[in-house]
Structure 1
Amino acid sequence: MENAEVTLVELIRTHGVIRSSDLASLGIPRVALTRAVRRGQLVRVSRGVYGLREFRSEHGTLAAAAIRVPKGVICLLSALQFHGLTTQAPFEVWVAIANKAAAPQIDYPPVRIVRFSDATLSLGVEEHTIDGVAIRVTSIAKTVVDCFKFRNKIGMDVALESLREAWRDKRVTSQDIWHCAKVCRVANVMRPYLESLT
């Protein structure tokens, strides 16, 4: 049985986390997971998801959210924090899902669900790896535009700060912003702010 626990810990070291539902296909008995948690080798990241004790990196909650909402996209305040465009540290992970998708039931991490149309959900999505977990996050240009689109939820001051920071650091172009703004139907809202920058 100890062999199974060693294999389990090595798998998690390589991949960052593991779902308990994946154990059978890997030939690892569930009792190995229980014993590794009791010994303190592993921690429960969220329901059915386990990782090493050091799993919680700076963006570890984004990885945990990506596992729990595999078709979701990290967006808005969480994407701003990921890209280093805000000093705010949201206590919830902001995740975009399709308009007609069922809302996931998640105990950890705390998640704020935002619904996007199919066109805006697939626009400007980047893939990154955190703690061995592939996450999907909105690009800087798309994140800035989303902040204007959802300004009533996050505040106009946050939207303006994100635009100023991204522009000042030369991390976006006006073409990228305009393209995203047109698809997201906020070009008219953003026009005066963009014109003041150029």
Structure 2
Amino acid sequence: MNCLDTLKLIAKKNGGIINNKEAEKYGISRAILSKLCIDDKLQRITRGQYILSDDMQDELLSISMRSKLFVFSHETALFLHGISDRTPFEHTITAPSGKVPSKAIQEECKIYYIKPELFELGKTKLKTPAGNLVPCYDLERTVCDCIRSRNKLGTETFLMALKLYAASPKKDLNKLNSYAKQLRVANVLRQYLEVLL
């Protein structure tokens, strides 16, 4: 099997992304990866990550593979849940306080920080538009995050998220109330939901 066939297998296993560390396990050096980029067989998407030249990049998967220290949240979570029809201009992540994502992630994403004990609350996995699973907060946590950050999100995005959540058949008001208490937004949530429900 030649190296390109091996890279195709790696890409297939990893949602289209070839990580240089994984390629090295199969005896494919960084020099070979660079040569394949020059020959237009591969395309470098960021440091240490490549895709086959004829593949489309799954940006969310690419970002999520760079670190386990964050979860997609806020506008990006709304998009992944189908609550927002707009692809965010800048992806939004949440990281535990005291953990700083890499410079590349900082340049690509808007970052919110949360106490480490609340970081895992509502964490799940959702499919990207390309069909790959990425870490994301569930719908109720996302609504609470939007309430916590309503001044930064913008009124239109915030109110649209609440209206669509209130109309969603998937909503779990008991879970929402539990999260709102833990994230200290229960009073604000009640004010908005009294109007919407």
Report TM bin, short chain. Answer: 0.7 to 0.9
Tell me if structure 1 keeps the 8 A contact 2:140–2:175: yes
CA positional deviation for 1:154:
0.6
2:71 alignment counterpart:
73
Equivalents in 1 of 2:18, 2:131: separation in Å? 10
Q: Does the Cα contact within 8 Å between 2:143 and 2:161 map onto a contact in 1?
A: yes
Give the equivalent residue in structure 2 for 1:47.
47
Q: Is the 8 A contact 1:124 1:138 kept in 2?
A: yes
Q: Shift of residue 95 of structure 1? A: 1.0
The CA deviation at 1:113 is 1.2
TM-score by length of 2: 0.87
Question: Hey, what does 1:196 align to over in structure 2?
Answer: 195
Shift of 1:69: 2.9
| Aligned AA (1:7) | T
Aligned-residue CA RMSD (Å):
2.2
| Range moving further from structure 2, 20-29 or 158-167 | 20-29
Q: Judge conservation of contact 1:9–1:42 (CA < 8 Å) in 2.
A: no
- Give, in angstroms, the shift of residue 7 of structure 1: 0.8
Contact 1:145–1:180, Cα closer than 8 Å, also in 2: yes
Which residue number corresponds to residue 102 of structure 2?
104
Instruction: Kindly provide the amino acid, as one letter, of the partner of residue 5 in structure 1.
Output: L
Q: Which moved more, 1:180-189 or 1:2-11?
A: 2-11
Q: Quick one: distance in 1 between partners of 2:8 and 2:20?
A: 13
Once the two structures are TM-superposed, the CA of residue 129 in structure 1 deviates from its matched residue by: 5.0
Q: Which moved more, 1:119-128 or 1:183-192?
A: 119-128
**CA deviation profile, 1:21-77 (whole Å, cap 9, x unmatched):** 333223222233223323333221222111234233xxx221121022322100001
> Is the CA contact (8 Å cut-off) linking 1:8 and 1:32 kept in structure 2?
no
For these two proteins, the number of residue pairs brought into alignment is: 194
SS in 2 for 1:182: helix
In 1, the alpha carbon distance for the partners of 2:132 and 2:33 equals: 19
Aligned counterpart, 2:183: 184
Alignment of 1:12-23 (within 5 A): 12-15=11-14, 16-23=16-23
Q: Which has the higher contact order (CA 8 A, sep 6+)?
A: 1
Q: TM-score, normalised by structure 1?
A: 0.87
8 A Cα contact 1:17 1:132, kept in partner: no
Instruction: List, as ranges, runs of 4+ consecutive aligned residues in structure 1 with deviation greater than 4 Å.
Output: 129-134
Matched residue type, 1:77: E
Amino acid at match of 1:55: M
Q: 2:81 corresponds to which residue?
A: 83
Query: Deviation string for 1:62-113 (max 9, x for gaps)?
Result: 1121022322100001111111111333211111111010232107972111
Identity of matched residues, %: 26
Where does structure 1 lack aligned partners over 5 or more consecutive residues? none
Cα distance in structure 2, aligned partners of 1:107 and 1:89: 18
Cα gap change, 1:167 to 1:107, in 2 (>3 Å): closer
Q: CA deviation at 1:176?
A: 1.9
Task: Could you tell me which runs of 5 or more consecutive residues in structure 2 were left unpaired when the two chains were aligned.
Answer: none
1:22-171 maps to which residues of 2 (within 5 A)?
22-53=22-53, 54-56=55-57, 60-106=58-104, 110-130=108-128, 134-171=133-170
